[in-house]
Amino acid sequence: EKPALSIIDYSLSYKTANGLISALKNIDLTIPKGKTVGLVGESGSGKSSMAWSVMRYLPPNAVETGGAIRLAGEELLDQTPFQMADIRGRRMSMVFQDPSTSLNPTIRLGEQIAEVLMRHRGLTKAQAWAEAEVALARTGITRPKEMLQRFPHEASGGEKQRVVIATAFACEPELIIFDEPTTALDILTARQILDLFNQLRDETNVSALYISHDLGLVSRVVDEVSVLHKGVIVERGLVGEVFAKPSAPYTKQLIGAVPNPDRWIGVDAPTDPKTLIKLDGIGVHYGAPSKIQKMFWPEDAEKVGFWGAKDVNFEVRKGELLGVVGESGSGK
Ligand code: ATP
Ligand code: MG
C-alpha cells in the first residue's frame, strides 16, 4: 500500500535581499495510511515551510531545489495550480495556528464550511448547509445550527478552530496538516481541541502531519515523531523513545527546556474509586478514567491522589524541584 504522504530528499530555499537562504535540507518523511506523524522543532526550524510545500502554498520567493512530495504516490510537485485547487480541500486540507487566518471575517461560518462542500462534493446549497451542521455537531459545538449563522468575530478562538477543523474534515480528505493548531488557545481549550483531533481521527482514519514546537504536546496525538533543526531532520522515532532516550543533541535541548525535577509524584484518576480508598490519607469524591502515558509517569514516581481527592499528603522538600505528572482531569 502506498503511504498517504511521502516526502523524499526534498529541499527548499527562500530568495532574500541577502541571497538564497536554505529552509529545508534533504527532508525524508513518510506518513503511512491512517497514521499521524509529528514534526517538532523550535521557531524558525522550517516546520511551516514544510507544511506550505506539501499544500503547495509557497510564497513567490520560495525556490525548490530538489526532491519529491507524493500524495498516495502521486507527485504533487508536478500539479498545476488549477489541479492543486481541486486537490486542496478534497484530498488534503490544513489547519493553521490562528483560526482567523483560515476564516474570511465577512462571511458567515456556515457559508465557509458549505462552500467547500459545494465545490468538492457537488452538493446544493441546502444540502451543503445541512451537511455543515452535521460536520459542526461532530466537533462538539452544542448549538451548531446557531453557530453556522455567526460571523467569525462572533465566535471564540476555540469555536473558530472547531469550525476550521470541521471544514478540514468535511470532505473526508486523505491527509490533514495541522500547523500548531492549539498555540493561540488557552491550555484547557487546547486540550479539548487535541481530544477532538484524536476523536475525529479515530472516526475517519485520516492520515495527518501534526506540527508543533512542543514535544510533550505532540506526544498526546502521535506515535512517531521527526525532529527538525535548522531545516534538517536530526532525529526520528517513536515519540516515547525519543522522549526517553533522545540521541541528537538538539532533541536533548528541546526536551531540556522542560525542567528535570528531583522527584516525581504521580496523580492518578482511577476508574474504580473503591480500589483507591485503600490508599492511606486519601478521600474519594469520584474517579475518572485513567490512561496516563507511561513515559510521562517515571517508574519511581510516588502515587498520591486522584480527581476530586482530598487529604492528599505530600511535601516539597527544601530546595527541591518536585515534578507532578498526571493526565488531563486527574486533579494536578
Ligand atoms: P515557527 O515555529 O515560528 O512557526 P517554523 O518552524 O514554522 O517557525 P518557518 O516559518 O518554516 O519556521 O521558517 C523557516 C525559515 O525560513 C526561517 O528562518 C524563516 O525566517 C524563513 N522564511 C520563512 N518564510 C520566508 C519567506 N517568505 N522569505 C524568506 N524567508 C522565509
Ligand atoms: Mg510555523
CATH of the domain at 101: 3.40.50.300
Decide if pLDDT at 168 tops 90. yes
Decide if pLDDT at 268 tops 70. no
What is the mean pLDDT of the segment spanning 120-133? 95
| Residues 47 and 181 reside in one and the same domain | yes
pLDDT confidence band for 258 (50 / 70 / 90): low
| Residues 210 and 309 reside in one and the same domain | no
Degrees (nearest 5) of the Cα angle 260, 263, 264? Answer: 90
Give the HSE-up count for residue 250: Cα atoms under 13 Å, Cβ half-sphere: 16
Query: What ipTM score was computed for the predicted complex, to two decimals?
Result: 0.98
Task: Return the residue whose CA atom lies nearest to atom 23 of ligand 1.
Answer: 49
Cell of residue 275, nine digits: 480500589
The one-letter amino acid code at 88 reads R
Report CA(94)–ligand 2 centroid distance (Å). 13
Task: Return the residue whose CA atom lies nearest to atom 30 of ligand 1.
Answer: 14
Report CA(24)–ligand 1 centroid distance (Å). 10
| Residues 73 and 207 reside in one and the same domain | yes
Q: Which of 20, 49, 65, 232 for a ligand 1 pocket mutation test, highest count of atoms within 8 Å of Cβ?
A: 49
Report CA(27)–ligand 1 centroid distance (Å). 16
Count of domains forming the chain: 2
Q: Provide the domain limits for residue 143.
A: 5-256
From 256, 275, 310, the end of a domain falls on 256
pLDDT confidence band for 297 (50 / 70 / 90): low
Least trusted range by pLDDT, from 31-40, 153-162, 213-222, 290-299: 290-299
